[in-house]
Structure 1
Amino acid sequence: MSKKEAKDQIVSQTDLFAANLVEWPVKDDLASMEFPLFALSKNADITVREYVNPTSKKRVRVTPSVLGAATVFDKDLLLFVGSQLIEARKSGLPISKNIKIDTYKFLTGTCRETGGKAYENILDMLRRLKGTIIETNIVTGGVEQTRGFGWIDDYEITRTSKSGKGILEVSVTISEWLYNALLHYEVLTIDRKYFELSQSLERRLYELARKHAGAKALWKCDIEILRQKSGSVQDLRKFRAEVRAIIERDRLPEFRVALDTQSKPQRVVFYTKSNKELSDWLSKNDAFGWFEGLER
């Protein structure tokens, strides 16, 4: 074991980590960026879903609770605590998989409304995150093992509003699988504007583009493969129509989207919003003519 590897294994621990850092770049774990682990529907999705990556042979099976599977919007809680854990560790602060959350800080930190039933809805979010069972052989922390787990192991409501319905503070224990990924920095920084995306597929496509495009100017994906990777349960015709609507809205951070209808099968193209980087890539690849023919 190298000195760096030994150092990385030394983690300052505490019994309970308070997620109250003011500054925390948003970090997304690589596994849930790559694989469709969260439901796209805002309604209760009780369908058991399976996905196998044809290249890596990594597989996932998502089994919802009676309340439905954890959604891409429920994932905000994991992004909130995971980002804070990473930032705390980088700063040399003690961390733990047991985390105390001030729900007002969570709501404002993830660009959510703080009125109405926002505090009451937290409980159903916790129930879905705990009740959804993920079974996968995706590697985290350099270890491959087939495991079944919920996103959070436990939660405890520690402070409520006067009515008793609104959750003001909660303690959660995140899964060992996710905690292991965070400890090994298996994450990417994503744009905070991700939280402003109100459509679930927009969020999912941004994650995939951020994961695969990285620092590149452009990423192309066959539309049927993209449909599967996104976790969409729509047929291809409806999925293509929703992609076209996303193209028209043009709200994704960092990327724009286009359709290559001339290729067989058709491809979805994600390209940088930096005109210089895009122009340099198109020039290098002699692709200006191809780009002009995209449906944008």
Structure 2
Amino acid sequence: MVLDAIHDWPVKDDVSSMEYPIFSLSKNPDTRIRTYSRGGKSIRVIPSAYGAATVFDKDILIYCISQLIRAADAGITVSRRVRVDVYPFLVGTRRSTGGAAYERVVDMCRRLKGTTIETNVKTNEKEQLEGFGLIEDYRVTSWTKNQKGALELELTISDWLYRAAMDFDILTLHPDYFGLGQALERRLYELARKHCGDKAWWEISLPLLLEKTGSSQRPSRFKQEIKEIVARDSLPDYRLFLDETARPNKLVVMTRDNAKLICEANKAGKLLWVSAFLQKTLKNVA
């Protein structure tokens, strides 16, 4: 199918890739074999020589999944094979539309195709050990003048992701997700959306958060970066707080819907606890 050039599109992401650290946060080619295992579920990420697919490479998968769901909702026949007009993709994911951007899209496809995922995590209630690339194949159908960048391309997303999309094992992301410029910020938003969701708050220890983000940083550097992200307060939908009174330290994620937050905190008998975090926000603004 062809993905139409649209602008106000609902941003959809599959739950499994939000939960597990599949995508690299590294700015440099990441050729490490990474394994994450918890609760009987395991993910092994095996990159190619080009390096593992990054959280920014994931944008093209989010774009494809979102448009596939939109088309299916409209009664259009869809398949894993899609054709993407690159300019609308760049605009829709808030990327530069300069010449080098079209070359970077080809590199994204190389990393997505070359990264092998081996997992027993199920999509659509189907559990089995699988090994697959994030995209099965890709083909540039229209090149830029210098023959290095893609104006249009076709790709086939993995059956694993396609099953998740077609059976609505997905969540809606805030469009401002694409405005988050740091990989860890994006990963924190994914985890917040997955675990906090429609709840008022969610807590996680920093050691477990380090695992779930897939970060390769030392714990001390990871904590410092978390502090910087908390101070910037740039995530859509959620506020982040670092609870250094807890042992081990915790990241606390709270909805930006203050009315809901106060209501739920009052019901849970945690109004003072929530208020203490909100007062920190007011002090920082002042």
Q: Does the Cα contact within 8 Å between 2:99 and 2:149 map onto a contact in 1?
A: no
Mapped contact 2:5–2:85 kept (Cα < 8 A)? no
Give the secondary structure class of the aligned counterpart of 1:118.
Answer: helix
Normalising by the residue count of structure 1, what TM-score does the alignment of the two structures yield? 0.91
Aligned partner (choices 85, 90, 93) of residue 110 of structure 1:
93
Residue-by-residue CA offset, 1:224-266 (whole Å, 9 max, x unaligned): 1111001111111111111100011111010010011111221
Q: Aligned partners of 1:292, 1:262: CA distance in 2, in Å?
A: 15
Per the alignment, residue 120 of structure 2 pairs with: 137
Q: Distance in 2 between matches of 1:43 and 1:204?
A: 17
Deviations 1:55-80 (A, max 9, x none): x3100000111111000000000000
AA aligned to 1:34 is: E
The alpha-carbon deviation at position 285 of structure 1 amounts to 2.3
Q: Tell me how many residue pairs correspond in the alignment.
A: 278
Gaps of 5+ in 1: 1-16
Which residue in the other structure is 1:41 paired with?
Answer: 26
Work out the CA distance in 2 between the residues paired with 1:213 and 1:246: 18
User: 1:19 is matched by which residue type in structure 2?
Assistant: L
**Separation in 2 of the partners of 1:280 and 1:102?**
45
Contact 1:259/1:269 (8 A) holds in 2: yes
How much has 1:292 moved relative to structure 2?
Answer: 4.6
Of 27-36 and 271-280, deviating more is 271-280
Answering whether residue 184 of structure 2 is matched by residue 201 of structure 1, we say yes
What does residue range 75-86 of structure 1 map to in structure 2 within 5 Å? Answer: 75-86=58-69
Aligned mates of 2:93, 2:42 — CA distance in 1: 30
Query: Which residue matches 1:272?
Result: 255
Matches within 5 A, 1:48-127: 48-53=33-38, 56-127=39-110
- Does the CA-based 8 Å contact 1:21-1:84 persist in structure 2? no
Residue 181 of structure 2 aligns to a residue in which SS?
coil
The whole-number CA distance in structure 2 between the counterparts of 1:203 and 1:166 is 26
Of 239-248 and 22-31, deviating more is 22-31
How far has the Cα of 1:121 moved from its partner?
Answer: 1.0
SS at match of 1:283: helix
SS in 2 for 1:101: strand
| Matches of 1:211 and 1:290, distance apart in 2 | 23
CA, structure 1 residues 61+224, in 2 after alignment: closer, same or farther (shift >3 Å)?
Answer: same
Amino acid at match of 1:81: C
How far apart, in 2, do the equivalents of 1:218 and 1:148 lie?
Answer: 35
Q: What percent of counterpart residues are identical?
A: 47
Distance in 2, matches of 1:192 and 1:274, equals: 17
3-state SS of paired residue (1:87): helix
- What root-mean-square deviation, in Å, do the aligned CA atoms of Structure 1 and Structure 2 show? 1.2
> Which deviates further from its counterpart, 115-124 or 246-255?
115-124
More helix by share: 2
Which residue does the alignment assign to 1:161?
A: 144
- Does the Cα contact within 8 Å between 2:47 and 2:114 map onto a contact in 1? yes
State the SS of the aligned residue for 2:246: coil
Question: Quick one: distance in 1 between partners of 2:221 and 2:273?
Answer: 25
Is the CA contact (8 Å cut-off) linking 1:260 and 1:293 kept in structure 2? Answer: no
Alignment TM-score, normalising by the size of structure 2: 0.94
Distance 1:244 1:162 in 2: 45
